């Protein structure tokens, strides 16, 4: 009796195990495991990539004048200090010159000669009228008097001009940047007594590399920063040759507004370093390199196909494609360690659609 019970229990256990095995086997058969990597892809875009660079520039007045004496002499008085604002025509200093004394003697001598010639002319004129001298003698005396008058006028003009040069005035209105003379100094014709920076607009001088030179043009806007303030300026001049001292191309930009920037101060500029306008671009993450050769994976009928490309410039998100792709290419830009040439892949959108279809099918069942 006891043996019969054990046998019956064994039969029940075996039946339960068989039913459980059939049930689990059916579940495993119904479960489908996806082995293909899921990727994201997009077609190339047409857009601009603009790269900027920061440079250091020097603030300068749009115009400045070095005040240089037109004659040498001792400085008698100085009427300005560095930092003073002066108006055009304002007297800056006065000079005394030995040359002026010599010119005054020439004027006095020419004046005496002229007076003598005029007296002689009056005498000969009277004699001519009385018939004592000939027409030829009168004409000779008239010519001498005329020449004496010309000589006197020339001497007087030269003296007046040099006298004017002894008074040095400001050629433009502006601020005196430097003062290079003192009273009793000797001023020469080759040494500026001061430099005046003009009122009004200011400019920034800076240098650019050859690469930036090819992307900057007259009329282009640049941004200038100083002391937390930002100003806009316009490029007005670009040098055509490298500056031998700096190895850069000299560029000048004039500020579009009044700014409280000291002459000679340093400012930061932001200019275009490189640009690709209307370029074909793909995500930067899509491009890989093999031995320095750039390539991407394109999605073709569910297969990842390696495609070598030619690339240009790039920013933090996009890279320029110069060749190797068509407008409609599906470029894979997500990373997977299973992504190799010829690998079967599943597009992310298609994967989600498949999962939704499977869920709906399960609900209907």
- Contact (CB, 8 A) for 86 and 170: yes
Three-class DSSP category at 156: helix
Q: Which of 308, 307, 317 is nearest to 282 (CA)?
A: 317
Per-residue pLDDT of the chain (365 residues), as tens digits, is 444 444 454 444 555 555 555 544 554 544 556 678 899 999 999 999 999 999 999 998 888 899 999 989 999 999 999 989 999 999 999 999 888 888 889 999 999 999 999 999 999 888 888 888 888 988 999 999 999 999 999 999 988 888 888 999 999 998 898 999 999 999 999 899 999 988 878 899 999 999 899 889 999 999 999 988 999 999 999 999 999 999 999 999 999 888 888 888 999 999 988 999 999 999 999 999 999 999 999 999 999 999 999 999 999 999 999 999 999 999 999 988 889 999 999 998 764 544 444 454 445 54
Q: Are strands 186-187 and 91-96 parallel, antiparallel or unpaired?
A: unpaired
Interior CA angle at 181 toward 180 and 182, to 5°?
140
Half-sphere exposure (CA, 13 Å, Cβ side) for 360?
A: 6
Give the Cα separation of 340 and 184 in Å (integer).
87
pTM above 0.85, yes or no: no
């Amino acid at each position: 009796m006891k043996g019969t019970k054990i046998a019956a229990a064994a039969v029940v256990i075996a039946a339960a195990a068989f039913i459980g095995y059939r049930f689990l086997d059916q579940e495993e058969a119904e479960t489908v495991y996806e082995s293909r990597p899921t990727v994201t892809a997009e077609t190339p875009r047409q857009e601009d990539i603009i790269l900027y660079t920061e440079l250091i520039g020097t603030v300068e007045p749009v115009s400045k004048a070095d005040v240089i004496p037109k004659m040498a002499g001792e400085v008698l008085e100085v009427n300005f200090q560095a930092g003073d604002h002066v108006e055009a025509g304002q007297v800056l200093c006065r000079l005394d010159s030995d040359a002026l004394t010599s010119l005054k003697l020439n004027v006095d001598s020419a004046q005496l000669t002229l007076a003598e010639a005029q007296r002689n002319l009056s005498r000969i004129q009277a004699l001519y009228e009385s018939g004592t001298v000939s027409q030829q003698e009168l004409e000779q005396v008239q010519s001498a008097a005329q020449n004496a008058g010309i000589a006197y006028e020339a001497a007087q003009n030269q003296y007046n001009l040099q006298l004017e040069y002894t008074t040095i005035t400001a050629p433009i209105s502006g601020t005196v940047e430097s003062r290079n003379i003192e009273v009793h100094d000797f001023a020469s014709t080759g040494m500026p007594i001061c430099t005046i920076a003009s009122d009004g607009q200011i400019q920034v001088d800076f240098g650019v590399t050859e690469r930036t030179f090819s992307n900057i043009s007259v009329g282009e806007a640049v941004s200038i920063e100083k002391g937390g303030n930002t100003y806009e300026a316009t490029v007005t001049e670009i040098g055509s040759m490298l500056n031998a001292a700096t190895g850069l191309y000299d560029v000048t930009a004039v500020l579009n507004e009044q700014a409280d920037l000291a002459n000679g101060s340093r400012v930061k500029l932001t200019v275009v370093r490189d640009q690709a306008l209307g370029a074909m671009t793909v995500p930067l993450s899509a491009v890989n390199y093999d031995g320095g050769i750039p390539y991407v994976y394109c999605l073709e009928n569910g297969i990842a196909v390696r495609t070598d490309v030619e690339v240009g410039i790039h920013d933090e998100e996009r890279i320029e494609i110069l060749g190797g792709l068509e407008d409609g290419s599906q470029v894979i830009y997500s990373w997977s360690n299973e992504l190799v040439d010829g690998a079967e892949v599943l597009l992310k959108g298609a994967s989600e659609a498949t999962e939704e279809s499977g869920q709906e099918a399960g609900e209907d069942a």
